[in-house]
């Protein structure tokens, strides 16, 4: 990638040197891509390099192995949302998860589209219920794209496709009420909206977050990537307080 010009979503930024920053952006066709922004910590650039913002990005590198120099121009700012605790927590978590979980330079066009949709929902919805289901679906899609997808097509115990109500934490497969009989306490609740579509009540949304959170922590956010789970915990706690 000697030269790449594209619109991208800012996912993570860290200081580099005295004035610069390394930004990791999710691009539509090249996946997660990092670049060095000269003056990235300046007063002018800090509002641009905020997670969730959409930027016009220009990456330039001399070789494939060199960290690219990156210049960015703000295309769409979500900075006003960062003053609101719940939207800010949702943006923080969605972008942090993406930056921590995805390998660099691997295309994930479906995830780019889904993250853009999630951020748009956070921005447009008048309340958290308007975007919380989208967050659960984004986490579920990310698991699938990384090879840890849940099989919600049929019951792992009986093979039936009706009345799916649980997920096995061992096999990541759905289980019907009949198939779960006597073992319900060992299984994870499966919210109906993940099978039938549509939206869900708050109890179902929280079940969805517990479900995806279990598999994210077990299969994706391990070792050095586990520290980003703190952002998810903040979001879940704020959601609990909002619906209490």
Answer yes or no: is pLDDT of 139 > 70. yes
pLDDT tens readout for residues 178-195: 999 999 999 999 999 999
Average pLDDT over residues 129-141: 96
Instruction: Judge whether residue 52 has pLDDT over 80.
Output: yes
| Helices 85-101, 129-145: crossing angle, 10 deg rounding | 0
Question: Are 220 and 229 contacting, i.e. CB atoms less than 8 angstroms apart?
Answer: no
Please state which of the ranges 6-10, 39-43, 220-224 shows the lowest mean pLDDT.
Answer: 220-224
Question: Is residue 244's pLDDT more than 80?
Answer: no
Quick one: pLDDT band at residue 1, thresholds 50, 70, 90? low
Question: What mean pLDDT comes out for the span 162-174?
Answer: 97
43 touches 37 (CB < 8 A): no
Distance (Å, rounded) from C-alpha 52 to C-alpha 67? 22
pLDDT value at 114 more than 80 = yes
Question: Which part of the chain has CATH 2.40.50.140?
Answer: 3-77
- Give the pLDDT confidence of 226-236 residue by residue, as tens digits: 889 999 999 99
Q: Where would I find the H helices in 146-228? A: 177-180, 193-196, 202-215
Q: Averaged over 155-162, what is the pLDDT? A: 94
CA distance 59 to 38: 12
Q: How many Å from the N-terminal Cα to the C-terminal Cα in the chain?
A: 49
On the CB side of 6, how many CA atoms lie within 13 Å of its CA?
20
Cα Rg of the chain, angstroms = 19
Q: Tell me which CATH code domain 3-77 carries.
A: 2.40.50.140
Residues in contact with 189: Cβ distance below 8 Å, sequence separation at least 6, in sequence order: 165, 166, 167, 207, 210, 211
- pLDDT score of 35: 96
Cβ atoms < 10 Å from Cβ of 55: 23
Confidence category of residue 62, pLDDT binned at 50, 70, 90: confident
Average pLDDT for the chain:
95
Tell me what pLDDT residue 191 has: 97
Please give the average per-residue pLDDT across 75-100, as a whole number: 96
Average pLDDT over residues 207-216: 97
Report the pLDDT value the prediction gives residue 23, as an integer from 0 to 100.
98
Question: Would you place residue 217 in the very low, low, confident or very high pLDDT band (cuts 50, 70, 90)?
Answer: very high
> Which strands sit side by side in the sheet containing 188-189, from one edge to the other?
174-176, 164-167, 188-189
Largest CA distance in the chain: 62
Contact 5, 11 (CB under 8 A): no
Of 10, 117, 98, which Cα lies nearest the Cα of 54? 10
């Amino acid at each position: 990638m000697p030269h790449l010009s594209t619109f991208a979503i800012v996912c993570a930024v860290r200081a580099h040197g005295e004035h610069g920053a390394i930004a990791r952006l999710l691009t539509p066709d090249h996946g997660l891509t990092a670049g060095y922004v000269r003056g990235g910590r300046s007063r002018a650039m800090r509002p641009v390099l905020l997670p969730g913002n959409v930027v016009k990005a220009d990456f330039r590198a001399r070789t494939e192995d060199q960290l690219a120099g990156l210049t960015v121009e703000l295309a769409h700012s979500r900075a006003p949302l960062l003053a609101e605790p719940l939207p800010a927590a949702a943006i923080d978590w969605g972008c942090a998860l993406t930056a921590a979980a995805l390998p660099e330079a691997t295309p994930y066009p479906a995830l780019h589209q889904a993250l853009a949709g999630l951020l748009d929902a956070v921005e447009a919805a008048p309340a958290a219920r308007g975007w919380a289901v989208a967050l659960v679906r984004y986490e579920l899609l990310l698991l699938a794209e990384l090879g840890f997808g849940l099989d919600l097509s049929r019951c792992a115990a009986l093979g039936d496709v009706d009345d799916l109500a649980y997920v096995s934490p061992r096999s990541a497969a759905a289980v019907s009420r009949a198939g779960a009989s006597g073992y319900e306490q060992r299984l994870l609740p499966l919210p109906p909206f993940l099978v039938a579509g549509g939206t869900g009540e708050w109890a179902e949304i929280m079940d969805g977050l517990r479900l995806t959170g279990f598999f994210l922590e077990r299969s994706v956010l391990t070792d050095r990537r586990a520290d980003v789970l703190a952002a998810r915990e903040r979001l879940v706690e704020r959601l609990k307080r909002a619906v209490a």
